[in-house]
Every structure is written in structure tokens, then in C-alpha cells.
């Protein structure tokens, strides 16, 4: 078999020979990023709601104690997962479960669990900031008509907070696409892991990882643009028509402020 002699010749040769590995790695990378971001978002949302539960002098002592314990545990969780690299978290959780708990966890399941916990810690702070950015008058108005904290959050505050936090949520997803590469340390067959497998036969690391870099670039480019389109969609039209309460009134058209 005649081997290529040029850089682009090797690129074409490696792609033709190992494209099934690259496609499999890309699919697994997307599964990890999507599942980890979605579960992490829901976890962060729940944590943010708990951290914003108001306490008053009228509350029972048991409620105050439970909320403070929950906030203390949440603070520890956030500090630990934001203060340590994901690669270290993967090693501790995966091999720790095998050594201490004697649990044989599938690598893919462990990877989703690790990304979810890591993402949840960041999402908790993102959503807490989004919630605190909403005017307090809206929360007070919701409580004034008898809404509980949970009802006011789900019906009034969170829809606005999620919209405000959408750029940061999209950024976390993009980060997860790239950072999933560190999970090759627990033998997850994501894109980087498959690149190592493909480069080993002919020892063409440069050409192989050039292909891997292009795939990561395409993924992040596509999804960053999709999130921008989603942001514009949630912004609504550039102008709004407000109709008067009387049928003979002419509608007023209001444009968005720059």
C-alpha cells in the first residue's frame, strides 16, 4: 500500500480510513454535552431556587434550620466543583466509586454524571444571578396575590431569568463540547479518545488532531450560532403593536430601544 507523502494527502487518507471512528466520537461528544448541560441546567435551576428561598421571623424554626443546612451543603457543592478541574473530578468519582464502593459504573454513564455535576455548580450561580437581576417588585407582587415562593419562581421570575441567562447557558454548552475531551482519562470514547486511537497506527498525530480540531471548531461554530438565533427568537419582534382599549383608537407601534 502506497502511503501519502504530503500533509493534505495524509489528511484525506486518515479521514477515509478512520471516519467511522471520528463520527462515533463526535456523536458521543454531542451526547455528553447535551445530556450534561440539560441535567446540569435542571440541577442548577433547583439549587438556585433553594438558595433564593426567603426567610422571615414568622417562619418555623425547623424550616429555618433545614434551609440553612441546605444552603450550607449547596455552598460546599458549588465550591468543590467550581474549584477543581473536571479531569480530577472524573478520576476521583469514577475510580473512587470502583475502589471504595466496588461499583462497576459504565464509563459513558459516569461521564454524563460528572459533566452534570460540574455544569450544575456553574449553572446554579448563573441562574442565581439571573434571578437576582429581576426586579424585586415582581416577586413582591406575586406574593401579594398569594403565590408561594415556588409558584412565583416558576410562573413569574424563572422565565425572565432564563432568558437573561441564555447567553451564559449557551456558553456552558459550548464549554462542555470542548471539555468533554478530558473524559478520555476514564476511557470514554468521545472525539479526543477516538483521535488517539486513529493516530496510533501510522503515528500521524499532527494530521489526525488537525482533523479533530476542525470537527470541534465546526461543532462550536454551529451551536454558538444556533444559540444566537434562539436568543433573537426569545427577544421577539423589533416592534410591538399596542391597540387602544376602544375600537376607534389607532394602534401605537413601539420600537425597541437601542
Cβ proximity of 192 and 25 under 8 Å = yes
pLDDT-above-90 percentage for the chain: 52
> Counting Cβ atoms within 10 Å, is residue 124 exposed (0-12), middle (13-18) or buried (19+)?
buried
**Separation CA 197–CA 186 (nearest Å):** 15
Which of 194, 153, 190 is CA-nearest to residue 35?
190
Terminal-to-terminal C-alpha distance of the chain: 63
Cβ proximity of 207 and 11 under 8 Å = yes
Phi-psi category of 162—alpha, beta or left, where left has phi over 0 and alpha has psi -120 to 50? alpha
- DSSP code string of 53-99: ----TTS-HHHHHHHHHHHHHHHHHHHHHHSS-HHHHHHHHHHHHHH
Task: Report pLDDT digits (tens) over 192-251.
Answer: 999 888 888 888 899 999 999 999 999 999 999 999 998 888 776 554 454 444 444 554
**Separation CA 51–CA 128 (nearest Å):** 8
* pLDDT recorded at residue 247: 45
* pLDDT recorded at residue 175: 95
Task: Report pLDDT digits (tens) over 94-109.
Answer: 999 888 888 888 999 9
> Counting Cβ atoms within 10 Å, is residue 30 exposed (0-12), middle (13-18) or buried (19+)?
middle
* pLDDT recorded at residue 19: 92
**Separation CA 132–CA 136 (nearest Å):** 8
**What are the grid coordinates assigned to 149, written together?**
415562593
pLDDT-above-70 percentage for the chain: 91
* pLDDT surpassing 80 at residue 50: yes
* pLDDT surpassing 50 at residue 86: yes
**Separation CA 154–CA 159 (nearest Å):** 7
Model-level pTM? 0.83
Cβ proximity of 178 and 29 under 8 Å = no
**What are the grid coordinates assigned to 187, written together?**
476511557
**Separation CA 60–CA 65 (nearest Å):** 9
Task: Report pLDDT digits (tens) over 136-153.
Answer: 888 788 878 888 878 888
Q: What is the mean pLDDT of the chain?
A: 86
Q: Look up residue 134 and give its DSSP letter.
A: S
In this structure, the number of other CB atoms found within 10 A of the CB of residue 182 comes to: 21
Amino acid at each position: 500500500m502506497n502511503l501519502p507523502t504530503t500533509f493534505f494527502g495524509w489528511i484525506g487518507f486518515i479521514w477515509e480510513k478512520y471516519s467511522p471512528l471520528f463520527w462515533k466520537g463526535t456523536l458521543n461528544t454531542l451526547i455528553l454535552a447535551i445530556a450534561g448541560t440539560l441535567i446540569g441546567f435542571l440541577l442548577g435551576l433547583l439549587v438556585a431556587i433553594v438558595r433564593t428561598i426567603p426567610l422571615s421571623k414568622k417562619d418555623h424554626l425547623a424550616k429555618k434550620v433545614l434551609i440553612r443546612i441546605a444552603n450550607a451543603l449547596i455552598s460546599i457543592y458549588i465550591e468543590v466543583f467550581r474549584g477543581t478541574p473536571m479531569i480530577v473530578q472524573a478520576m476521583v468519582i469514577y475510580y473512587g466509586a470502583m475502589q471504595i464502593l466496588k461499583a462497576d459504573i459504565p464509563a459513558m454513564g459516569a461521564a454524563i454524571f460528572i459533566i452534570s455535576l460540574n455544569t450544575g455548580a456553574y449553572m446554579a450561580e448563573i441562574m442565581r444571578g439571573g434571578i437576582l437581576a429581576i426586579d424585586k417588585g415582581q416577586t413582591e407582587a406575586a406574593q401579594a396575590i398569594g403565590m408561594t415562593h415556588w409558584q412565583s419562581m416558576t410562573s413569574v421570575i424563572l422565565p425572565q431569568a432564563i432568558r437573561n441567562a441564555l447567553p451564559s447557558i449557551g456558553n456552558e454548552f459550548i464549554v462542555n463540547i470542548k471539555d468533554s475531551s478530558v473524559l478520555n482519562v476514564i476511557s470514554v470514547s468521545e472525539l479526543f479518545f477516538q483521535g488517539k486511537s486513529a493516530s496510533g497506527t501510522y503515528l500521524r498525530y499532527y494530521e489526525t488532531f488537525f482533523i479533530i480540531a476542525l470537527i470541534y471548531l465546526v461543532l462550536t461554530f454551529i451551536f454558538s450560532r444556533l444559540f444566537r438565533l434562539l436568543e433573537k427568537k426569545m427577544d421577539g419582534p423589533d416592534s410591538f403593536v399596542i391597540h387602544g382599549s376602544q375600537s376607534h383608537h389607532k394602534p401605537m407601534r413601539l420600537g425597541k430601544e437601542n
